[in-house]
Amino acid sequence: MMTRQEIRELAAFQADESKGAYALSFYFQPDPPQDRSHRHDAIVAKDVVKQALKNANGKAKNGWLHADLDRVLELASRLPGHTRGRAVFACSAHNLWREFDLPPRLGSTGIYVQPRLQLKPLAMLMGAQPDLCVTVVDRQRARFFDLRLDELRERGAIVHMLSRSGAKYGYHGYEAGHAERRISEEALQHFKAVSERLRMDLERGLWQRLVVGCHSSNWPEFEPHLHPYVRERLVGRFSADVASVSDEEIRKHADALTKKWIEERGRKKAEEAIDLAKANGRGVTGLRRVLRALETGEVQSLFLADNYSARAVECTHCGHLDAHIVSACVACGRKTRELNDVCDAIIPIAIRSDIELFYVTQHSELDRAGNIAALLRFRADQNRTGQLAAAS
Ligand SMILES: [Zn+2]
User: Measured in angstroms, how far is the CA atom of residue 12 from the centroid of ligand 1?
Assistant: 18
Q: Among residues 103, 126, 149, which one ends one of the domains?
A: 126
On whether both 165 and 224 belong to a single domain, the answer is yes
The confidence band for 33, taking pLDDT boundaries of 50, 70 and 90, is confident
Q: How far is the CA of 331 from the centre of ligand 1 (A)?
A: 5
Question: From the centroid of its chain, how far is CA 180?
Answer: 45
Q: How many whole angstroms from 339 Cα to the centroid of ligand 1?
A: 15
What value of ipTM does the predicted structure carry? Answer: 0.99
Rounded Cα distance, 17 and 15, in Å: 6
Same domain, residue pair 20 and 71 = yes
Distances (CA, A) of 212 to 184, 259, 338: 21, 15, 48
Q: Are residues 147 and 109 in the same domain?
A: no
Report pLDDT for 167: 45
Residue 179 domain-assigned (yes or no) = yes
CA angle 40/41/43 to nearest 5° reads: 65
Query: With bands split at pLDDT 50, 70 and 90, how would you rate the model's confidence at 390?
Result: very low
pLDDT at 227 over 70: yes
How many angstroms does the Cα of residue 211 sit away from the middle of ligand 1? 46
pLDDT, tens digit (0-9, with 9 covering 90-100), for 311-332: 999 998 999 999 999 999 999 9
Q: Which of 3-17, 256-270, 295-309 has the lowest mean pLDDT?
A: 3-17
Compute the distance from residue 317 Cα to the ligand 1 centre, in Å.
5
* Residue 388 binned pLDDT confidence (cut-offs 50, 70, 90): very low
Residue 315 CA to ligand 1 center (angstroms) comes to 5
Q: Average pLDDT of 169-180? A: 62
Quote the number of domains for the chain. 3
Give residue 321 CA to ligand 1 midpoint distance, Å.
Answer: 8
Query: What is the structure's pLDDT at 389?
Result: 44
**Residue 254 identity (one-letter amino acid):** A
Let me know whether 233 and 340 are in one domain.
no
Q: Is residue 10 located within the same domain as residue 66?
A: yes
Out of 85-99, 147-161, 231-245, pick the least confident.
147-161
**pLDDT value of position 121:** 92
Kindly give the distance from the C-alpha atom of residue 366 to the centroid of ligand 1, in angstroms, as a whole number: 30
> Which residue has better confidence, 388 or 281?
281
Q: What is the pLDDT of residue 241?
A: 94
Maximum average pLDDT range among 120-134, 150-164, 285-299? 285-299
> Would you say residue 267 lies in a domain?
yes
DSSP code string of 247-260: HHHHHHHHHHHHHH
Please check whether residue 250 lies inside any domain of the structure. no
- Please give the average per-residue pLDDT across 123-141, as a whole number: 92
Lowest mean pLDDT segment, chosen from 96-110, 147-161, 177-191: 177-191
Q: Are 357 and 123 in contact (CB under 8 A)?
A: yes
235-260 residues labelled b (16+ CB within 10 A) or e (exposed): bbbbebebeebeeebbbebbbebbee
- Domain stops at, among 100, 126, 152: 126
Are 117 and 137 within one domain?
no
The overall average pLDDT reported for the chain is 89
Q: What tens digit of pLDDT does each residue of 272-312 get?
A: 999 999 999 999 999 999 999 999 999 999 999 999 999 99
Q: How far is the CA of 161 from the centre of ligand 1 (A)?
A: 67
Tell me what pLDDT residue 322 has.
Answer: 96
From 213, 245, 277, give the residue that closes a domain: 245
Domain with 104, as residue range(s), is: 4-126
With a cut of 80, say whether residue 55 has pLDDT above it: yes
Res 196: pLDDT: 97
Whether residue 326 sits in one domain with residue 286? yes
315 SS3 class = strand
* Residue 359 CA, ligand 1 centroid: distance in Å: 29
pLDDT higher at 209 or 178: 209
More confident residue, 88 or 151: 88
Mean pLDDT of 68-86: 86
pLDDT at 172: 54
User: Does residue 66 fall inside a structural domain?
Assistant: yes
pLDDT score for 163: 64
CA of 328 to the centre of ligand 1 (A): 8
Distance (Å, whole) CA 352 – CA 369 = 25
For ligand 1, the distance from its centroid to the CA atom of residue 138, given in whole angstroms, is: 59
Report CA(295)–ligand 1 centroid distance (Å): 12
Rounded to whole angstroms, how far apart are CA atoms 63 and 80? 28
Looking at the domain assignment, is residue 256 inside a domain?
no
For residue 379, the CA-to-ligand 1 centroid distance in Å is 23
Ligand 1 centre from 239 Cα, in Å?
55
Query: Rounded to the nearest whole angstrom, what is the distance from the C-alpha of residue 322 to the centroid of ligand 1?
Result: 10
Contact criterion met (CB below 8 Å) for 249 and 152: no
Radius of gyration, CA atoms only, the chain? 26
Least reliable range by pLDDT among 28-42, 163-177, 251-265, 339-353: 163-177
Dist CA 328 CA 339 (whole Å): 14
Which CATH number is 373's domain given? 3.30.1330.30
The rounded Å distance from CA 312 to ligand 1 centre is 14
The confidence score (pLDDT) of residue 117 equals 95
State mean pLDDT over 152-172.
71
User: What mean pLDDT comes out for the span 357-382?
Assistant: 92
* CATH number for position 214: 3.30.420.60
Give the CA distances from residue 172 to residues 1, 73, 167, 175, in Å, rounded to whole numbers and listed in that order. Answer: 57, 77, 10, 6
| Sheet of 321-322, strands arranged across | 321-322, 312-315, 336-339
Based on the domain organization, do 286 and 333 belong to the same domain? yes
CATH value at residue 87: 3.30.960.10
* 3 state DSSP class of 298: coil
Does 30 share its domain with 113? yes
Distance 337 CA to ligand 1 centre (A): 11
Q: Name the band, by pLDDT with cuts 50, 70 and 90, for residue 392.
A: very low
As a whole-number percent, the residues of the chain with pLDDT over 70 amount to: 91
**Any idea of the CA torsion for 196, 198, 204, 206, to the nearest 10 degrees?**
170
Q: Which residues contact 123 (CB under 8 A, 6 or more apart)?
A: 347, 350, 351, 357, 359
Q: Is residue 371 domain-shared with residue 272, that is, in the same domain? A: yes
Q: Tell me the CA–centroid distance for residue 381 and ligand 1, in Å.
A: 22
Helices (H), the chain: 4-12, 40-59, 64-76, 120-126, 173-203, 219-222, 228-231, 247-278, 287-295, 343-352, 364-368, 387-391
Helix axes 343-352, 4-12, angle to 10 degrees: 140
> Do 222 and 324 belong together in one domain?
no
21/116 same-domain check: yes
Of all residues in the chain, the percent with pLDDT exceeding 90 is: 64
Nearest-angstrom CA–CA distance, 123 and 131: 15
Q: Is 252 contained in some domain?
A: no
Furthest C-alpha separation in the chain: 92
Around ion ligand 1, which residues have CB less than 5 A away?
315, 317-318, 320, 329, 331-332
Q: Is residue 258 part of a domain?
A: no
Interval between CA 334 and ligand 1 midpoint (Å): 5
* Distance in Å, CA 103 to ligand 1 centroid: 38
